[in-house]
Structure 1
Amino acid sequence: MTTTSPATAPERLARPLDLLVCSPEHFTVSYEINPWMDTTAPVDAGRALAQWEELCAAFERLGHRVRVLPGVPGLPDMVYAANGALVTARGSVGVRFAHPERAGEAEAYARWLEEHGLGPVHRPVHVNEGEGDLLVVGEHLLAGHGFRTELAAHREVERVLGRPVTSLRLVDPRFYHLDTALTVLDEDPAHPDVAYFPGAFDEASRRVLEELFPHALRTGEETAEVLGMNAVSDGRHVVLSPRAQRYADQLAERGYVPVPVDLSELLRGGGGAKCCTLVLRQ
Structure 2
Amino acid sequence: MDTVTAPAAHARTRTRPGAGARRRYLLCPPEHFAVEYAINPWMDPGLPVDRAVALRQWRGLAAVLRSLGHRVDLLAPEPGLPDMVFTANGATVVAGRVLVANFRHRQRAGESAAHRRWFAAARFRQVRTAAEVNEGEGDLLVAGRRILAASGFRTTTAAHREAQRVLGLPVVSLELTDPRYYHLDTALAVLDDTRVMYYPDAFAPAARRELRRLYPDAILATAPDAAAFGLNAVSDGRHVVLPADARGLAGQLRAAGFVPVPVQFAELRKAGGGPKCCVLELRSQ
TM range (shorter): over 0.9
Deviations 1:49-77 (A, max 9, x none): 10000000000110100111111000000
- Structure 2 SS opposite 1:269: coil
Report the number of matched residues: 268
Structure 1 position 163, deviation (Å):
2.2
Provide the C-alpha distance between the structure 2 equivalents of 1:237 and 1:261, rounded to a whole number of angstroms.
Answer: 12
Q: 1:28 aligns with which of 22, 31, 34?
A: 34
Q: CA deviation at 1:25?
A: 0.3
Match of 1:135 among 141, 157, 173: 141
SS in structure 1 of the partner of residue 225 of structure 2: helix
User: 1:1-282 maps to which residues of 2 (within 5 A)?
Assistant: 13-89=19-95, 91-187=97-193, 192-282=194-284
1:90 touches 1:161 (CA, 8 Å); kept in 2? no
Mapped to 1, the partners of 2:225 and 2:125 lie a distance apart of 36
RMSD between superposed Cα atoms in Å? 1.1
Q: Could you tell me whether the CA contact under 8 Å between 1:239 and 1:273 is conserved in 2?
A: yes
Query: What letter corresponds to residue 250 of structure 2 in structure 1?
Result: A
CA–CA separation in structure 1 for the residues paired with 2:74 and 2:168: 29
Q: Which stretch of the first structure deviates more once superposed, 31-40 or 83-92?
A: 83-92
Deviation for aligned residue 1:121: 1.2
- Say whether the 8 Å CA contact 1:60–1:66 is kept in structure 2: yes
Kept after mapping to 2: 8 A contact 1:114/1:120: no
Once residues 105 and 119 of structure 2 are traced to their aligned partners in structure 1, the CA distance between those partners, rounded to angstroms, is 22
Contact 1:92 1:120 in 2 (8 A): yes
**Amino acid across the alignment from 2:234:** V
Q: How does the TM-score come out when normalised to structure 1?
A: 0.93
Instruction: State the shift of 1:120 in Å.
Output: 2.6
Shift, 1:219, TM fit:
1.3
SS in 2 for 1:126: coil
The 8 Å contact of residues 90 and 112 in structure 2, kept in 1 or not, is answered as yes
Deviates more, 1:177-186 or 1:112-121: 112-121
Contact 1:171–1:200 (CA<8 Å) still a contact in 2?
Answer: yes
Q: Which amino acid aligns with 1:74?
A: G
Q: Which whole-Å deviations, capped at 9, do the CAs of 1:141-194 have from their partners, x for residues lacking one?
A: 10001000011100111111232110000000000000000011113xxxx110
Contact 1:128–1:148 (8 Å) recurs in 2? yes
Contact 2:35 2:49 in 1 (8 A): yes
3-state SS in 2 of match to 1:239: strand
TM-score (norm 2): 0.92
Q: Which residue of 1 aligns with 2:5?
A: none
Structure-2 separation of matches of 1:139 and 1:120? 19
- Shift in Å at residue 90 of structure 1? 5.7
Alignment identity in percent?
53
Unmatched tracts of structure 2, length 5 or more: 1-15
